[in-house]
Amino acid sequence: MGKVYDALRRAEAQRQRGATSSAVAPSLDAALGRAPDAAGAERGRLRALARWLRLAREPGVPDDATAINKRRISLLQPDCFVAEQFRTLRVRLDSLASERPVRTLAVASAMPGEGKTTAAVNLALVTAMSVGRRILLVDCDLRRPKVHQALGLRPEFGLAEVLTDQCPLDRALLKVEGTSLEVLPVRATPKNPSELLASERMRALVEELARSYDQVIFDTPPTLALPDAKTVSELTDGLVLVVRADVTPEEDVQAALDVLDRRRVLGVVLNGADTNPGRYGY
According to the model, what pLDDT value does residue 19 have?
36
- Regions of the chain where pLDDT drops below 50: 1-35, 277-282
- Name the DSSP class of 6: H
- Give 74-83 contacts, CB < 8 A, sequence gap 24+: 74/121, 74/122, 74/125, 74/126, 75/125, 75/151, 75/176, 75/178, 75/179, 78/126, 78/129, 81/276, 81/279, 82/122, 82/280, 82/281, 82/282, 83/122, 83/126
Question: What pLDDT score does 140 carry?
Answer: 97
- CATH number for the domain running over 2-57+80-271: 3.40.50.300
What is the pLDDT at residue 28?
A: 44
Query: Residue 159 to residues 190, 200, 212: CA-CA distances in angstroms?
Result: 10, 14, 16
CA 215 to the chain's CA centroid: 13
Domain ranges of the chain: 2-57+80-271
Within the chain, strands assigned E span: 104-109, 135-139, 174-175, 182-184, 215-219, 238-244, 265-271
Instruction: State pLDDT tens for residues 155-177.
Output: 999 999 999 999 999 999 999 98
pLDDT at 279: 43
Rounded to whole angstroms, how far apart are CA atoms 257 and 259?
5
Which helix or strand (DSSP H or E) is residue 87 part of? helix 81-97
Start-to-end CA span in the chain (Å): 11
Q: What per-residue confidence (pLDDT) applies to 69? A: 57
pLDDT of 193 reads 96
pLDDT given at position 40: 57
pLDDT at 133: 92
| Whole-structure pTM value | 0.77
The pLDDT score that the predictor gives to residue 98 is: 83
